[in-house]
Amino acid sequence: MSSTDERAPSGDHPRRDELLCMAYVDDELAADARVELERRMAGEPALTAQVSAYRKLEVLARQVAPDEPADHEWKRLEREGTQRAGLGVGWALFVGGALFFYGWLGLELATDDELDLVPKLAIAALVGGFTLLLGMTLRARLRNLPHDPYTEVKR
C-alpha cells in the first residue's frame, strides 16, 4: 500500500488521489499542487486514467444538465406589461376583498342584535388582539429588514 493510500479515508469516501484528480479537473488546485500532480501523472498511468475518466464525467454532466435561463431573462418576463398588470390587478382584488371582508365582519358584529354582548366582545378581542400582534410583528420585521443580509440571497 502506498503512502497516499494509508491516509485515505475508509468506506465509500473518495481516496485522497481521487479528490486530487477531481480538484485538478475542476481547476481548483493551487499552482504547485497542479504541477506536482502533473509530474506524478507522467509516471503513474492509473492517475492519468483517473483524470481522464473525471474529464469524461464532467463533459457528460454538462451535457445532461439542462440550460437554465439567465437571470435577466427571468427579469424580462417579470417586467412584461401583461404579466405585471395581471398580477397587480389580482393582488389589488385580493387585498380589497380581504379588507372589505374585515370591515363587513366588524359591521356585522356591531349591528347584529341576535348575538349577546359577551360573545361580541370576545370576538372583537380575538380579532383586535390578532391584528395588534400582527401589526407589532410586522413593525419589528420592517425595522429589522435593513439589517438582514440574507434577503439578498437569490437561490
Radius of gyration of the chain (CA): 32
Length of the chain: 155
Please answer whether residues 125 and 131 qualify as being in contact, where contact means their C-beta atoms are separated by less than 8 angstroms.
no
User: Nearest to residue 22, comparing CAs of 11, 33, 9?
Assistant: 33
Q: Which residues contact 14 (CB under 8 A, 6 or more apart)?
A: 22
Q: Locate 75 and state its grid cell.
A: 427579469
Binding-site member from 3, 82, 111, 151 for other proteins (CB under 8 A)? 151
Q: Locate 37 and state its grid cell.
A: 500532480
Binding-site member from 62, 72, 143, 155 for other proteins (CB under 8 A)? 155
- Closer by beta carbon to other proteins, 39 or else 116: 39
- Closer by beta carbon to other proteins, 111 or else 151: 151
Stretch that binds other proteins, among 16-24, 50-58, 109-117, 125-133 (CB under 8 A): 16-24
Minimum Å gap between C-beta 74 and other proteins is: 8
Q: How far apart are CA 34 and CA 69, in angstroms?
A: 34
Binding-site member from 2, 3, 30, 144 for other proteins (CB under 8 A)? 30
Size of the site for other proteins (CB under 8 A): 19
Chain residues binding other proteins by CB under 8 A are: 7, 9, 13-14, 16, 19-20, 23, 29-30, 33, 74, 91, 94, 150-151, 153-155
